[in-house]
Chain A
């Protein structure tokens, strides 16, 4: 079956540091890929997505590129802020589906210190 593997956390950075959270996946066909962010005590918010190979999703300074050859969708940000502290989830939706049957990674906790 489909699966998503995220780098284990927690990740602790200083403000303005560079962020990378690794995400790799296993899926048949051509899945769509997503990053969601969950702030403390809240639901998940869609951060960015990519629907085909070599697509780059971007939002709020975060970027991720859909790499089919390495089955990866790593999340990056050039300069993190304290307000970026949250849990980040990588997820995939199987190719060819018309509904959100997402498979999620375990989540990576990010803490940014001033």
Chain B
């Protein structure tokens, strides 16, 4: 069965530094997709970045990048040059390779606080 685990409940870092959030997953599929979403204080859930399991290159979007370690079933989110507005809850999610379904399994979330 699929499972996504985020062990860091909360993280606090200084503004303009780099932070890494951890996520490990379990799946029997050889093809899957990994996502990171951000939930702001208002409750809005926003898609950030995606990693396809068959791609060796780590995905990068703006100041978000991923550390995909397939042998360890790990997909870490790296935020560089953090800003106050990066304060939010970050969710890791996985989708197995059945293109017809698109079911996402979410981790429990990591609350990130950026201090000025």
Judge: A and B partners, yes or no.
Answer: no
